[in-house]
Amino acid sequence: MVYVASSLDGYVARENGEIDWLPETTESGYDAFYKSVDTVIIGKTTYDQVLTFGEYPYKDKKSFVFTRTCQSSDENTKFVSDVEKFVKEGFPGTGENIWLVGGAQIIASFLKQGAVDEIIISLIPVLLGKGIPLFKNIENEIKLELIKTEKYDRLVDLHYKVLK
């Protein structure tokens, strides 16, 4: 499952990777969602960005970082290089409720493999004009079914099922 915040015009970060436009505190469904997952999958660029915020925030979850370069795993994460092999082998070592954190490249890779079942987008009421897009390099049309919307104080969660 993908759960991600996006500007109204479809960006997850500024061109330089900054996410200073995200509200610091606001009512949302994030806390309940986070408690429901036992595994996080994250791309290396997003992983490096997360580490700049301080302590690794997903220590209580099984964590898999996808990278093209060979790296040794540490106490918090396992580094993996081949999305296709990982999916074909049935997500080895993961739990049952997997959160595909991001970024756009890793999301596109898992979508290409048909390995994403749901997408939740928290729309933040800001127009950035340019930045890092939520989706890029999507090679084929992917149909979605809106299954739930949730309005909060300053944002809206759009919950989609990926149609096979």
pLDDT tens by residue, the chain, 164 residues = 999 999 999 999 999 888 899 988 678 888 899 999 999 999 998 898 888 888 889 999 999 999 988 677 777 899 998 999 999 999 998 989 999 998 888 999 999 999 999 999 999 999 999 999 999 888 889 999 999 999 998 899 999 999 98
Predicted confidence at residue 99, as pLDDT, reads 96
How far apart CA 61 and CA 64 sit, in angstroms, is 10
Residue 129, pLDDT score? 97
As a whole number of angstroms, the distance between CA 72 and CA 16 comes to: 27
The whole-number pLDDT of residue 106 equals 92
pLDDT recorded at residue 151: 94
> Which residues, other chains included, contact 82 with Cβ-Cβ below 8 Å and sequence gap of 6+?
none
Phi, psi of 47 (to 5 degrees): -60, -50
- Which pLDDT score, from 0 to 100, does residue 76 have? 80
CB neighbour class for 68 (10 Å; exposed up to 12, middle 13-18, buried from 19) = exposed
Please give the pLDDT value at position 101: 92
133: which 2 tokens?
Answer: 């897009």
Question: Is the pTM above the cut of 0.85?
Answer: yes
What confidence score (pLDDT) does residue 71 get? 73
Angle (CA) 28-33-163 rounded to 5° is 105
Structural domains of the chain, ranges and CATH numbers in brackets: 2-16+28-162 (3.40.430.10)
| pLDDT of 8 | 96
C-alpha distances (whole Å) from 50 to each of 18, 27, 44, 123, 131 are 11, 21, 10, 20, 18
**DSSP one-letter code for 46:** H
